[in-house]
Amino acid sequence: MDALILSYSDTRRLVDMVGMDVIMRTCIDRLRNGFSEVSRERWRGCPPRNGFVHDHSVGGGVIENMPYLEVNRGMTLKTISYKPNNNAEHRLPTVVGAICRYSDSSGELLAICDATVPTAIRTGAATAVASSMLARPDSRTAAIVGAGLQAVTQIHALCVSFALERIQVYDIDRKCAESLKDRCNFTSAQFEVFDDPHGVVEGADILVTATSVRPGAGPVVRDERLSSHLHINSIGSDEPGKTELPLSVLNRAYICVDHLDQALNEGECQVLERDAINVTLPDLVGIARSTGQPLPQVHDLTVFDSTGFAFEDHVALDVFLDFAAEAGLGGKFSILDGPVGLHSPYSTSATN
Amino acid sequence: MDALILSYSDTRRLVDMVGMDVIMRTCIDRLRNGFSEVSRERWRGCPPRNGFVHDHSVGGGVIENMPYLEVNRGMTLKTISYKPNNNAEHRLPTVVGAICRYSDSSGELLAICDATVPTAIRTGAATAVASSMLARPDSRTAAIVGAGLQAVTQIHALCVSFALERIQVYDIDRKCAESLKDRCNFTSAQFEVFDDPHGVVEGADILVTATSVRPGAGPVVRDERLSSHLHINSIGSDEPGKTELPLSVLNRAYICVDHLDQALNEGECQVLERDAINVTLPDLVGIARSTGQPLPQVHDLTVFDSTGFAFEDHVALDVFLDFAAEAGLGGKFSILDGPVGLHSPYSTSATN
């Protein structure tokens, strides 16, 4: 059976063909539906990711393997590397990897998709799902700390979900902060670049932190000038020691995590006890669905601790594979090509 | 950068081109060298595999992810499925999967190799390394219980390492047992097929168990008629509940495991306490190397509990990639094809 390859260029082309809003909205809808359908049984398919933390002598970062299995729908396995030096050393994005789909029935490799674009989009989509539950529906001002690649899909996802009018930007690299407006030319919101990460939060209804801060060097914002109703999406915390928010913020916020064990292992919540976490995003979506109405906006300060987990990649890969099939996009290759020797690995054998 | 694909056919062709003995000997030598070079630091790169156990309503089996990272030499990740019904349902081998190599420096996918042939060969090679340490050097008779695909490379590896004259075979499928001789036409040893798994062990110097026995249905041999000096390679135990040997054999044997945590999780040793395990194969090889001579043959009954672990796949993939490069074999594909947008996943952005 042939396997499908969607390269990085294929995924970019697919976004152009289908439309970035359609792809993002489809991801948001499927994530939301997936979360709300979740039963305890189904979530057993999503263990915390596992991987390797690079020593800072080799530039730090992590390389992780994120498996998710859904019976009769396959195993999705994303291998994803986060290397802060990738831009400078390799002219590659900070986050690089591949998403593989295997048949859970036979073990065959069915598809490989470059992870760059789907990862950025599904991380944005998770922020949209969380923010639509936790931020004020009339949010108009977003602040973003860390203006790299992930910032683009964070803003895109928020623009799809809120009528944003103003986006306040900070990055340690001012040029990068200044270029974000051009990279987000899909929105007519006003961009303002700030010189410090503290002023940037003032007046924001929603804050996104998406930095490459080194482990131990956080937080990246202070517990100052935050709106009382602020909703924070913390995207960057994804390795031990790497946190973006002050403990005082976490201590008084209503905290929603994507994946409980991951959040405690490597998210913002690594500095908290398990019982300090209020809810998981799947549970939050499930509760809202079952009560038939959005949650009352009882919470002031809220935090979504987004570590990014394998179910999201499973959903994103489905979205890309479905649109690619419609568009006839992607290459084919054969890995388990025949005739396959069922009883010998050697072709010198008399019987196969 | 292009990635390399070695399909199943490519790996078979490579074995033909290079020669099955050369491939096997190279794997044995590199495994032995790898084991003996092992430091505690290096072995931190090899966590126990993780995966999913299939319910018996869907035919049982497992699908597992086996990562190994060696700094500056890449991360090897094998995804391997063991499905007892694969032959009948899909006309595929019982063990199916793919071995991927990623750059640990950038996260890029560098190579994909079908796992069927390398897995069978490296499992044979591990048996050869263990047996050369634990079995009598003058072993002439081997018994094999379970005559499927793995049996071929088990016998091949033993024939490369011992002057075997006689091979005694049992399989619950007598036709399969009878065909093993033809599938092993690389050896001039005499084959004898047995009607029961108890007689087959009589007179054997080395026993290999390589069955698809269902969890809970073992053991596959009795503690009867075993030579006092028997060395056993137990290959089939690789999921919880699946064991092939009687407890009484384990209780009085000298036990060597490939990977301590895996052996306790899913190998023969899952029925033992940790302190009942005498040694790991890497330590055994390391000790012999450092003392400069083979171990004295002080042990009577010995067991090698071979769960198969990721370092072995890393070594086997290196062997196949090296020979493929020499032979100019394999396809190429581009997954992270350029120009890569460092700061946006969207091509609609004004700057890349």
Q: Tell me whether A173 touches chain B (CB under 8 Å).
A: no
Give the model's pLDDT for residue A348. Answer: 52
Rounded to the nearest integer, the mean pLDDT of chain A is 91
Q: Tell me whether B43 touches chain A (CB under 8 Å).
A: no
pLDDT digits (tens, 9 = 90+) for A96-124: 999 999 999 899 999 999 999 999 999 99
Both tokens of B25, joined, read: 């000997």
CB contact under 8 A, A47 and B50: yes
User: What number is the average pLDDT over the span A55-75?
Assistant: 87
Percent of chain B as helix, strand, coil, to the nearest 5 = 40, 20, 40
| Helix-then-strand count for chain B, H and E | 11, 15
Chain A residues inside the 8 Å CB shell of B8 = 335-338, 340
Contact A77, A64 (CB under 8 A): no
Give the model's pLDDT for residue B314. Answer: 96
Give the model's pLDDT for residue B43. Answer: 61
Write down the ipTM of this complex: 0.90
* Mutation for testing the A interface, residue in B17, B76, B335 having most A CBs under 10 Å: B335
Q: Tell me whether A297 touches chain B (CB under 8 Å).
A: no
| Nearest chain A Cα distance for residue B345, angstroms | 5
User: What number is the average pLDDT over the span A222-242?
Assistant: 93
Query: Which residue in chain B is spatially nearest to A61 when comparing CA positions?
Result: B105
pLDDT digits (tens, 9 = 90+) for A150-167: 999 999 999 999 999 999
Chain B residues inside the 8 Å CB shell of A350 = 182-183, 185
Q: Tell me whether B295 touches chain A (CB under 8 Å).
A: no
User: Cis before residue A282, ω within 30 degrees of 0?
Assistant: no
Contact B31, B126 (CB under 8 A): yes
Give the model's pLDDT for residue A286. Answer: 84
Q: Is B248 helix (H, G, I), strand (E, B) or coil?
A: helix
CB contact under 8 A, A97 and B87: no
User: What number is the average pLDDT over the span A32-61?
Assistant: 76
| Nearest chain B Cα distance for residue A280, angstroms | 23
Whether the predicted pLDDT of A1 surpasses 80 = no
Percent of chain A with pLDDT over 70: 94
Give the model's pLDDT for residue B215. Answer: 87
Query: Which residue in chain A is spatially nearest to B114 when comparing CA positions?
Result: A335
Query: Which of A33-47, A81-95, B248-262 is predicted least confidently?
Result: A33-47
Give the model's pLDDT for residue B249. Answer: 97
Give the model's pLDDT for residue B47. Answer: 81
Give the model's pLDDT for residue B182. Answer: 96
Nearest to B343 by CA among A91, A113, A316, A20: A91
CB contact under 8 A, A45 and B58: no
Give the model's pLDDT for residue A349. Answer: 47
Of B65, B116, B342, the CB nearest to A345: B116
Q: What's the pTM?
A: 0.92
Q: Is A193 helix (H, G, I), strand (E, B) or coil?
A: strand
Whether the predicted pLDDT of A347 surpasses 90 = no
Q: How many CB pairs under 8 A join A and B?
A: 280
* Mutation for testing the A interface, residue in B179, B182, B336 having most A CBs under 10 Å: B336
Query: Residue A210: pLDDT band by 50, 70, 90 thresholds?
Result: very high
User: What number is the average pLDDT over the span A232-237?
Assistant: 94
Which residue ranges in chain B fall short of pLDDT 70?
38-45, 293-298, 348-352
Q: Tell me whether A194 touches chain B (CB under 8 Å).
A: no
Q: Is B225 helix (H, G, I), strand (E, B) or coil?
A: coil
> Please, which residues have CB within 8 angstroms of residue A2's CB and are 6 or more apart in sequence?
A332, A333, A334
In chain B, the N- to C-terminal Cα span, in Å, equals 19
Chain B residues inside the 8 Å CB shell of A182 = 349-351
